[in-house]
Amino acid sequence: MKKYTLALLLAVAMFAGGCQQTDTTPCTATPVTTKAPASEVATLKQYIDANKITATADDRGFYYTIQSPGTGSKPTICSNVTVNYVGKLTNGSTFDQGNGVSFGLSQLILGWQEGIPLIASGGSITLYLPPSLAYGSAATNGIPANSILVFTIDLTSIN
């Protein structure tokens, strides 16, 4: 009798496990269309020029340099991504970094939402973000208000 009870419990557990509800809700996030104000873009361009940085200007107001484009498909606003990154202030000091960190792209700052989809898995990009596409006018976690931020990001995978 114990064999049948154990077998029945295992069968119920396997059936219940196979029937667990997964989140199949379609992503309703919309791509970012926010543009940085002209004054922020001008200040960022001064930084880029003064430091002789070779970077591409994006119409939304940030600059970027792709070190490696990666291969395969690129993430969308609905993607979950795993990255290695370093965040720096324009004075060169590091305010944040992480390795093997996963995020829902729609949960990140606007500059990441706009910049990370420029590369595919295995790619690497440096983003130069004006305040309105980063943390804006609020000081947070050692980042002064209205800071231009520089992120070096390796997109290790799209999950």
Q: How far apart are the first and last CA of the chain?
A: 45
Per the CB < 8 A criterion, the answer to whether 51 and 92 are in contact is no
pLDDT tens across the length of the chain (159 residues): 433 333 333 333 333 333 333 345 667 777 777 899 999 999 999 999 999 999 999 999 999 999 999 999 999 999 999 999 999 999 999 999 999 999 999 999 999 999 999 999 999 999 999 999 999 998 998 899 999 999 999 999 999
**21 occurs within a structural domain:** no
**11 occurs within a structural domain:** no
What is the distance between the alpha carbons of residues 77 and 53, in angstroms, rounded to a whole number?
28
Q: How many domains does the chain have?
A: 1
The domain of 79 spans: 35-158
* Distance set, CA 23 to CA 27, 82, 117 (Å): 10, 20, 23
Phi, psi of 115 (to 5 degrees): -85, -40
* Distance set, CA 145 to CA 44, 51, 71, 137, 152 (Å): 15, 22, 36, 5, 20
**28 occurs within a structural domain:** no
Predicted model pTM: 0.82
**71 occurs within a structural domain:** yes
Give me the CATH number covering residue 65. 3.10.50.40
